[in-house]
Chains A and B, each alone.
Chain A
Amino acid sequence: MRAVDDLSLSIARGEFLALLGSSGSGKSTLLNLIAGLDRPTSGAILANGSDLTTLSPLQLARYRRNTVSMIFQSFNLLPRMTLEENIDLPLRLAEVERSERAGRVREALERVRLTHRTGHRPPELSGGEQQRVAIARALVNSPQILLADEPTGNLDSATGEVILSLLRELQTQLGMTIVMVTHERPLAERFADRLATMGDGRLLDTTPTVRGAAQ
């Protein structure tokens, strides 16, 4: 068994990269490594010039808190918290002052156009709305890198498109780097700058999309 083996990939600042590949090709593991949730047994992951493999657990936690954010296929919202509380959690972890937090939560909700559903809990929302809350939670700490693990996997195609166009819009507004794992090549081709295809732990191919080539 190998969970990623010999990949070498560099991603430019502000780029929207889609990672494609069959199941078990190591896409999600790669994403977890970039997210600082897992550590490689060999090799290096350089983010903003610092090697994640050399960071202490606390430094890695700080990296997850301030530099990188993640959204998931299953949204991973905390079901017992309201939308605001879910979005507020990264701010609490980063020890942002209480007075400042409410404004930033509000701003994040505005960005994903969900201000009308405040006070609700995640199970009361549709899948698309839940993913928008997850995006708002990922944005609230202004990360430089946004990692998306099959963000449209649980959504119908129309909603998936809405979510991806939202991601694209935010990326343009905020200048984040986005790395998205997906199975849906057509969507990836429409919204990403570059497609990287993985197979069996190896990087098979990277091609710029039409949008990427135009830039």
Chain B
Amino acid sequence: MKFWDLSDLALRNLREAFLRNALTTLGVAVGVASLVAILSIGVGLQRFTAKRISQSGLFDTIFVTAKSNFRGMGRPQREAQSDKPARPLDEDARRELQKLPNVIEVYPQVRFFTEVRFHNKPYATVVAGMPESSRNSGAFDGMQGSFFSSADASEAILQIEFAKDLSDQPASLIGQDLALRYAERQAIPAASDTSSARDGAGFSVVPKELHLKIVGVVETEPAAGYGGTGNARLLIPLQTASALRAAQVNDLRDIVRGANANKAVYPSLSVRAKSPSQVAVLEASIKNLGFNAFSLLDASKSLQTFFSLFDSLLGIFGGLALSIATLGIINTLVMAILERRREIGVWKALGAADSDVQQLFFVEAGIMGLLGGILGVAFGWLLGHVITFGTNVYLKRQNLNPIELTSVPWWLVVAALLLGVLVSLLAGLYPASRAARLNPVDALRYE
């Protein structure tokens, strides 16, 4: 029989036992919907994480330090055994790094522990300089207030926990002033007759104060907890931070080692690659120049592995719902065979081949699967939005930013439809072959 005639008759049969077939189709829809909803959460979380990661700059950034920096402390100094000589991380080095291929920018990490006075009360905190590029990285999306007005503004953005320390209503802090107290390094001028100061190897530390205007409050520091002295809770423009010449942790050590205090040496530099895929090559060439280089690329790879495992796990739960729907289809079709036994006999008496009968049941199963799939995708999509909505209501109550928790990409829609049809066809396999094998004489005798 021609496919269209078969589909026409199958649709007519489905309409005849409307309630039962509608319920079966609904079963498939629920199975597909749960699969779509669950996987859309998986995909949504993955996208959300990937977005956050790319915003954080963690995975396209290489942290460069001079060799023998931040090493020791009982760890073997592998770098010391390398044949490349250790080089200072100075301005020359910064320029050299900037010229490497696929580098967007190279900026120093300025980060120091100090004291802030607000309403004449002291607060200890870590201050970090933020490069101008972080304005567009998305890391400050959803912040309260605004980003720094210029690259060298005397302005500050507070991390939310710190802001809560300062005031019960963090938002009210925006526009207020605070005083940043810090220790400025001042080089001691070289005196030719004293051997100790022969290389200008020393500096004095002078307490200074800088008034900053609070312009914003942000959830977390971008690239927090990495390459420095812990989470910074007060963020200021990088240029402003550099200009302070604030004494940093490694300054004293550099002095002891006899570094030239007049020559700016960076404790570390961040090198941003154009994309995470170029990080590995770039990291190797930086190491070749004689620096320590470190990136979180490996962590990104394991994150991908985690999400593929996570998605498979979620898929298994969704699949369970679908397998129950499969049983529903088998049940419905087997019932239909019993009811339509005589009809099958008539079909065969009129010249239907076994394959015609088989195809009829197959098409009926397929139609239920397709309709169930379409409904299921719609339900799943809706369910995803309801979950996102509910989550965001909760997040809002917790004073957190809303997120797009679920995502239904086109491939999920196509896969869910295909799966709905495929599962239904598989479920139709047994009933269809059973119907086809019916002996027409017995079937015609059936009352």
A interface, CB within 8 angstroms of B: 32, 35, 37-38, 57-58, 61-62, 64-66, 70, 72, 76, 78, 80-81, 89-90, 92-95, 137, 141
Contact = CB atoms under 8 A, between A and B. Distances in A.
A94 B440 CA distance: 18
Nearest to A70: B349
Interface in B25-65: none
Contacts of B5: 92, 95
B441 A65 contact: no
B353 A58 contact: yes
B71 interface: no
B316 interface: no
A148 B212 CA distance: 105
A149 to B, nearest CB: 9
A38 B441 contact: yes
Given A76-B444, A80-B12, A61 B353 contact: yes
A94 B356 CA distance: 11
Q: B-side binding surface: helix, strand, loop or mixed?
A: helix
B421 to A, nearest CB: 24
A61 B349 CA distance: 8
Interface in B347-369: 347-356
B348 A61 contact: yes
B346 interface: yes
B352 to A, nearest CB: 5
B1 A64 contact: no
Given A76-B342, A76-B346, A95-B2, A90 B441 contact: no
Contacts of B2: 92, 95
B444 A61 contact: no
A92 B347 CA distance: 11
Contacts of A93: 1, 347, 350-352, 356
A32 B349 CA distance: 9
Contacts of B444: 37, 72, 76
Sorted from nearest, which 4 A-B pairs have the closest CB atoms?
A65-B351, A61-B353, A64-B351, A92-B5
5 contacts: A58-B355, A65-B352, A78-B343, A93-B352, A95-B2
A62 B348 contact: no
Contact of A37 (B1, B16, B440): B440
B9 interface: yes
B349 A76 contact: yes
A31 to B, nearest CB: 10
Contact of B1 (A58, A66, A95): A95
Contact of B351 (A62, A72, A81): A62
Contact of A92 (B9, B16, B346): B9
Contacts of A64: 348-351
Contacts of B354: 57-58, 61
Nearest to A97: B2
Nearest to A69: B350
Given A76-B444, A80-B16, A66 B351 contact: yes
B10 to A, nearest CB: 12
Nearest to A95: B2
A137 B346 CA distance: 11
B351 A90 contact: yes
Contacts of B349: 35, 37, 64, 70, 76
Contacts of A76: 342, 345-346, 349, 444
Nearest to A61: B353
Contacts of A38: 439-441
A60 to B, nearest CB: 9
Interface string B334-345: 000000001101
A108 to B, nearest CB: 13
A79 B102 CA distance: 76
Given A37-B349, A137-B350, 10 more contacts: A61-B348, A61-B351, A61-B352, A61-B356, A64-B349, A76-B444, A92-B9, A93-B1, A93-B347, A141-B351
A32 B441 CA distance: 7
A81 B5 CA distance: 14
A64 B440 CA distance: 12
A36 B444 CA distance: 14
B9 A37 contact: no
B350 A90 contact: yes
Contacts of B350: 64-65, 89-90, 93, 137
B351 to A, nearest CB: 3
Residue of B343, B345, B347, B351 with highest tally of chain A CB at under 10 A: B351
Contacts of B346: 76, 78
B7 to A, nearest CB: 11
Contacts of A61: 348, 351-354, 356
B177 to A, nearest CB: 84
Interface in B1-21: 1-2, 5, 9, 12, 16
Nearest to A58: B353
Nearest to B17: A80
A6 B127 CA distance: 108
Nearest to B447: A74
Nearest to A33: B441
A95 B5 CA distance: 9
Contacts of A89: 347, 350
A90 B352 CA distance: 8
Contacts of A57: 353-354
A142 to B, nearest CB: 13
A81 B353 CA distance: 20
Nearest to A138: B350
A93 B353 CA distance: 9
Contacts of B351: 61-62, 64-66, 90, 93-94, 141
A50 to B, nearest CB: 16
Contacts of B355: 58
